[in-house]
């Protein structure tokens, strides 16, 4: 029996099993097996087979955004409109791009790479329709934009979420606050700082045993589910922010559009009529959570036309690497003006480990 058949068999057994206190340990074991088989499907242990053909798109710019959706939802049209990148894909039904097309959005001094990934088909998590290449590229993104057709049912959104969840992409979720450490001896040490209402110690010990983990430390700091704990054990899950973008709003009623627009993490647009595209770019910028840092030469005014864009939580060392790699090696000290300065509006002398904030001005002094 192949891995795909084993996955299908476990999913059918889980669907048949009633959820209650008596079956939660059995369901926990099934979920652990399912996660293990899915990992095998995406990352086969054998390296002897022929190499697959992936999307060799070099990561560039300050952030990467991946467009994901079923065929013919307007991804290629959106890419062409926002980045002025030529696309050979038509806007009518049953046409799709089979390659990964990159483009660049320039916004507030930042360069955001936009990737138009091939349309996902049902079963992509099991390799159908170049599904593995699509999801492996999506895992490298800083933001996922799920493109949906406003004229169709919510089933399209549910199916896409299932496919992405099956390959370890967690949309709009935070990494569980769980500390897990393997040991060579000493058995299992289990501690919690909160009351667990969605799982219990027995279920977690059962899952650890199914993974043949008999010596480890487990510290749980939030009320997690069984699935969350399995994600921690596997350790390859990606937690990525997501925007749900409904295209073709010009073909639905105002009531339907208003209902969609009020949904959480949702933007409504029309690529055909260029409706609400500026707001979409604004939302992308907000979700990426980038900070802009300006550099200042000694005795000169700061250059406010060419910021360095970094991820939130970046340090002065990241700023140095953004200018030139040799700066961090020869670093003496830095001066920072702005929100992160203790003496704002005056400068503060800082080290490489200093965490910068949005719109800080930085001067770097070398040896």
Residue recorded with tokens 């295209």: 247
CA angle 216, 221, 225 (to 5 degrees): 85
State the average pLDDT over residues 274-294: 93
Tokens of 343: 């003496």
162-185 as b/e: b if 16+ CB within 10 A:
ebbbbbbbbbeeeebebebeeeee
Pairing mode of beta strands 143-149, 242-247: parallel
Q: What is the pLDDT of residues 348-367, one digit of tens each?
A: 999 999 999 999 999 999 98
Task: Please provide the distance, in angstroms rounded to a whole number, between the alpha carbons at the two ends of the chain.
Answer: 64
Identify the DSSP state of 43.
S
pTM across the whole model: 0.82
Q: What is the pLDDT of residues 124-147, one digit of tens each?
A: 666 665 666 777 788 889 999 999
54-72 as b/e: b if 16+ CB within 10 A:
ebebeeebbbbbbbbbbbb
Confidence label for 242 from pLDDT (cuts 50, 70 and 90): very high
- With 0-12 / 13-18 / 19 or more C-beta atoms within 10 angstroms meaning exposed / middle / buried, residue 322 is middle
- Give the pLDDT of residue 127: 60
* 207 touches 28 (CB < 8 A): yes
Confidence label for 42 from pLDDT (cuts 50, 70 and 90): low
């Amino acid at each position: 029996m192949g891995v795909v058949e084993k996955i299908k068999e476990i999913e059918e057994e889980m669907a048949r099993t009633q959820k209650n206190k008596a079956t939660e340990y059995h369901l926990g074991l099934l979920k652990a097996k399912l996660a293990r088989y899915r990992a095998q499907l995406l990352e086969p242990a054998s390296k002897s087979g022929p190499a697959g053909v992936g999307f060799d798109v070099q990561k560039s710019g300050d952030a990467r955004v991946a467009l994901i959706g079923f065929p013919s939802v307007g991804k290629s049209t959106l890419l062409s409109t926002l980045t002025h990148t030529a696309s050979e894909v038509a806007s009518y039904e049953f046409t799709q791009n089979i390659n990964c097309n990159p483009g660049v959005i320039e916004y507030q001094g930042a360069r955001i790479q936009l990737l138009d990934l091939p349309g996902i088909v049902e079963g992509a998590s099991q390799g159908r329709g170049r599904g593995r290449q699509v999801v492996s590229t999506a895992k490298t993104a800083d933001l996922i934009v799920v493109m949906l057709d406003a004229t169709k049912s919510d089933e399209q959104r549910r199916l896409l979420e299932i496919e992405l969840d099956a390959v370890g992409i967690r949309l709009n979720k935070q990494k569980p606050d769980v500390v897990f450490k393997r040991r060579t001896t000493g058995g299992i040490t289990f501690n919690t700082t909160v009351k667990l209402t969605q799982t219990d110690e027995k279920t977690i010990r059962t899952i650890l045993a199914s993974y043949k983990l008999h010596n480890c430390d487990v510290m749980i700091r939030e009320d997690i589910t069984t699935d969350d704990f399995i994600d921690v054990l596997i350790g390859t899950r990606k937690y990525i922010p997501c925007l749900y973008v409904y295209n073709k709003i010009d073909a639905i009623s105002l009531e339907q559009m208003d209902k969609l627009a009020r949904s959480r993490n949702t933007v409504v647009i029309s690529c055909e009529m260029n409706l609400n595209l500026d707001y979409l770019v604004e939302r992308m910028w907000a979700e990426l959570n980038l900070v802009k840092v300006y550099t200042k030469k000694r005795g000169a005014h700061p250059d406010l036309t060419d910021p360095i864009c970094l991820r939130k939580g970046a340090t002065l060392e990241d700023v140095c690497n953004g200018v030139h790699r040799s700066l961090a090696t020869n670093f003496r000290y830095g001066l920072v003006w702005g929100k992160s300065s203790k003496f704002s509006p005056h400068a503060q002398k800082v080290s490489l480990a200093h965490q910068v904030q949005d719109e800080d001005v930085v001067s770097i002094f070398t040896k």
